[in-house]
């Protein structure tokens, strides 16, 4: 499995670094990772499906524009949750650093939301691994009222399997600015696979565990299964 290779690679580095005997690490990685995923699946309040299609186009001034259309289901995949259209303009300022500005219009069963964001991301490669960081600020407009500020920090590790396949693991942390206090409100842990397809197309399959409302006595826990299809 893909995740086996990531774990084996990481452990080999630690073995060499600390001169540890390899027999200590003779593990069945598939069973180990299955136990991790199984542990996440237990105890969730809901299962959601996040599906999207995206289009990317280069425009003048070294800019890129991305259009994403998404559909999300909840109530254990049985009910409509929301659909949204998001347009993102981005620009590389260095080889591995870029800035971006997304604008989102989302429709729910009984309301609409508009969300404005901006942020930046960077990447550092140590082949076959890539370490990524993204900082994002967002503000939502709902029922003529702007929400509190939200700051999102996302850390990712990508393992390049070959020219067509990448696997990744990420954690994203949400801080809510409420009454001039930054509260740790939500986090998401994700595992996924990016697949390059012919004719500049790509598909991403992922699983995310979302833990929200951490400041409340009973936090909301959701399992998310998703697929994203992109035209580059």
Per DSSP, the three-state class of 179 is coil
By percentage, how much of the chain surpasses pLDDT 70?
Answer: 81
Of all residues in the chain, the percent with pLDDT exceeding 90 is: 69
Domain that holds residue 29: 1-42
In terms of domains, do 115 and 205 share one? yes
**Sign of the four-CA dihedral 23, 29, 34, 37:** positive
Higher pLDDT, 192 or 219: 192
* 28 and 77 belong to one structural domain: no
| Mean pLDDT computed over 195-204 | 94
pLDDT at 179 over 80: no
**Could you read off the pLDDT of 2-54 as tens digits, one per residue?**
444 544 444 444 444 434 344 434 444 445 555 555 555 666 789 999 999 99
The Cα 213–Cα 5 span in angstroms is: 34
Q: How distant, in Å, are the alpha carbons of 86, 108, 118, 195, 227 from that of 135?
A: 18, 27, 9, 25, 23
- List all residues 6 or more positions away from 87 whose beta carbon is below 8 Å from its beta carbon: 65, 66, 67, 68, 102, 103
Average pLDDT of the residues of the chain: 86
Question: What whole-number distance in Å separates Cα of residue 149 and Cα of residue 117?
Answer: 10
pLDDT of residue 196: 95
Contacts of 105 (CB under 8 A, 6+ apart): 84, 85, 86, 112, 113, 114
Give the pLDDT band (50/70/90) at residue 232: confident
Domain containing residue 62: CATH number: 2.40.160.40
Same domain membership, residue 167 and residue 109 = yes
Q: Are residues 27 and 102 in the same domain?
A: no
Q: Please report the pLDDT score of residue 36 as a whole number.
A: 56
User: Which band of pLDDT confidence, cut at 50, 70 and 90, is reported for residue 215?
Assistant: confident
The better pLDDT of the pair 125, 35 is held by 125
Residue 194 shares a structural domain with residue 150? yes
Could you tell me if 34 and 142 lie in one domain?
Answer: no
Tell me, yes or no, whether 7 and 67 share the same domain: no
pLDDT at 34: 56
Same domain, 67 and 123: yes
For residue 45, what pLDDT is reported?
87
pLDDT tens for 164-175 read: 999 999 999 999
**By the 8 A CB rule, do 66 and 91 touch?**
no
Per-residue pLDDT, 214:
87
Same domain, 28 and 58: no
Bridge partners (DSSP) of residue 85 are 69, 105
Domain identity same for 205 and 156: yes
Looking at the structure, do residues 31 and 63 belong to the same domain, yes or no?
no
Q: Name residue 136's beta-bridge partners.
A: 119, 152
Q: In terms of domains, do 183 and 102 share one? A: yes
Q: How many domains does the chain have?
A: 2
């Amino acid at each position: 499995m893909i995740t086996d290779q990531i774990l084996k690679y990481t452990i080999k580095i630690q073995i060499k670094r600390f001169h540890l005997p390899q027999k200590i690490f003779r593990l069945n990685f598939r069973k180990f990772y299955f136990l991790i995923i199984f542990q996440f699946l237990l105890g969730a309040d809901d299962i959601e499906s996040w599906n999207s299609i995206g289009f990317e186009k280069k425009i003048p001034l070294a800019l890129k524009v991305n259009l994403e259309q998404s559909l999300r289901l909840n109530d254990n995949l049985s009910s409509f949750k929301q659909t949204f259209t998001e347009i993102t303009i981005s620009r590389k300022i260095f080889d591995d650093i870029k800035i971006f500005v997304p604008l989102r219009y989302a429709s729910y069963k009984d309301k609409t939301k508009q969300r404005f964001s901006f942020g930046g991301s960077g990447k550092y490669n140590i082949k076959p691994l890539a370490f990524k960081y993204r900082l994002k600020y967002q503000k939502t407009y709902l029922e003529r009222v702007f929400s509190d500020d939200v700051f999102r920090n996302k850390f990712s590790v990508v393992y390049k399997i070959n020219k067509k396949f990448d696997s990744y693991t990420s954690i994203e942390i949400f801080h809510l600015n409420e009454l001039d206090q930054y509260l740790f409100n939500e986090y998401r842990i994700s595992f996924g696979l990016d697949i390059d397809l012919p004719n500049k197309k790509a598909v991403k399959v992922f699983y995310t565990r979302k833990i929200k409302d951490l400041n409340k006595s009973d936090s909301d826990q959701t399992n998310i299964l998703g697929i994203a299809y992109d035209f580059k």
